[in-house]
Amino acid sequence: MERNSIVKAIANILAERGVGNLLPLEYPLSPLEHVFPKSIIVVREDEPSTIVAAALSSDDYIGRLFEIREQYMMDNNTTEETNNEKLATGIDTSTSGITSSDLSIERTLRSKSGIHMKSYFTDGTTKFFCKIFFAEQFDALRRNCGCEESFIASLAQCAKWDSSGGKSGSTFLKTKDGRFLLKQISRYEMDAFSNFAPSYFQYMSEAFFHELPTVLCKIFGLYRVGYKNMTTGRSIRMDILVMENLFYDRCVQKIFDLKGSMRNRHVQVTGKENEVLLDENMVEYLFQSPLFLYSHSKQMLRESLHNDTLFLSRLDVMDYSLLVGIDEEKQELVVGIVDFIRTFTWDKKLESWVKDSGIFGGGGKEPTIISPRQYRIRFREAMDRYFLMVPDFWTTINI
């Protein structure tokens, strides 16, 4: 093996120089760790985020991304020259204070096409690969959110994150600094998000540059990663998305995953760290400690949920949740819509119809799977009930 050859070479040099009585040299990295030329990232087989970090820091990715940015800047300069000509003739071309950089990011997010990049690297024993989906759009989104500089450093280390209580059963990883979460998704979920990704990026551009209220949890990257170790025979292949950790740098005592349903939405409270409670647990909690919001906060939440659920319904997306964290230290609620990449496919339509009609034992009970429109209505109504408003001086009260 190459790493053993390096160690032997160093040992021979020390022996030639008369340095004796030394313990045998050991390679500083474990068999699961790998390093590559021109890369500062230590890639670990049991930490998929490190594969992404290595790919995003590679010269090939950086070079191609630079070319894309240069092209967008050239297009922006052409647009500005056209605008200057129109101004000279008295035509108003105001951009409401949007800078050239903002304009470049907005145009990138609104692009209907997406470039997917592939990165391959090997250290002689193990072959790694990473496919980067929608490279330029996710790069623009991260730059606008101010996390591009720290993104690679965060992904350089991760650990399995156990959020107990939730029902998704998904595998989650958290970066060691706690800024981002990585979720393994199915091939179906990967295809679903890839199909509506252009709409997602355009929606986020509306939120960033046109003050559209939203509480969608931001997705910062979509990747397909894998490796094969020729020595051990170990191999892996997975699709992962990287999203913001809503509770980063927060002191959150209680977490709720809310869908607006009371059917099988209760878990036994254990008091474990990162325990995720459900809708029925929320109702129980509200009897003891009602959650009151200021009128402007309630209005902002209502508008955000209206916008987000309408957007998701139009994409045939359902089964999303409002993740709520109670930060008792700051007396604040931290909220965000998560798990919004499941679309209403024909098999779910069939399941809903069978349960609703009572055929094959459905019994005419409320179906566990409902249409995106029904889900949207139920979701909005439930969230409006969960969070109460504190009237202020400007609140109109009808008597």
pLDDT tens digits, one per residue of 31-89? 788 988 888 899 999 999 999 999 999 999 999 988 887 776 776 665 555 555 544 54
pLDDT value at 24 more than 90 = no
Q: Average pLDDT, whole number, for the chain? A: 83
Residue pair 29/3 in contact (Cβ under 8 Å)? The answer is yes
CATH for 31-59+109-245 (3.30.800.10, 3.40.50.2000, 3.40.50.1000, 3.60.10.10): 3.30.800.10
pLDDT band at 91 (very low <50, low <70, confident <90, very high): very low
pLDDT value at 168 more than 60 = no
Residue 80 has a pLDDT of: 54
pLDDT value at 6 more than 90 = no
pLDDT value at 138 more than 50 = yes
Burial class (CB in 10 A: 0-12, 13-18, 19+), 351: middle
pLDDT value at 134 more than 60 = yes
| Alpha-carbon gap, residue 163 to 184, rounded angstroms | 14
Residue 1 has a pLDDT of: 47
Residue 133 has a pLDDT of: 97
* Predicted confidence (pLDDT) per residue in 301-326, tens digit: 999 999 999 999 999 998 999 999 99
Which tokens is 356 given?
């609703």
Residue 351 has a pLDDT of: 57
Q: Give the whole-number percent of the chain exceeding pLDDT 90.
A: 57
Termini Cα distance of the chain: 83
* Predicted confidence (pLDDT) per residue in 250-294, tens digit: 999 899 999 999 888 999 988 888 899 999 999 999 999 999 999
| Alpha-carbon gap, residue 161 to 205, rounded angstroms | 30
pLDDT value at 25 more than 60 = no
Residue 345 has a pLDDT of: 63
pLDDT band at 210 (very low <50, low <70, confident <90, very high): very high
pLDDT band at 171 (very low <50, low <70, confident <90, very high): confident
Domain boundaries, the chain: 1-28, 31-59+109-245, 250-392
Instruction: Give the total residue count for the chain.
Output: 399
Q: Are strands 387-390 and 291-294 parallel, antiparallel or unpaired?
A: parallel
* Predicted confidence (pLDDT) per residue in 191-206, tens digit: 999 999 999 999 999 9
98: left (phi over 0), alpha (psi -120 to 50) or beta: beta
Q: Give the whole-number percent of the chain exceeding pLDDT 70.
A: 75
| CATH superfamily, region 250-392 | 2-Layer Sandwich (3.30.810.10)
Residue 125 has a pLDDT of: 87
pLDDT value at 158 more than 50 = yes
Residue 38 has a pLDDT of: 84
159: left (phi over 0), alpha (psi -120 to 50) or beta: beta
pLDDT value at 94 more than 50 = no
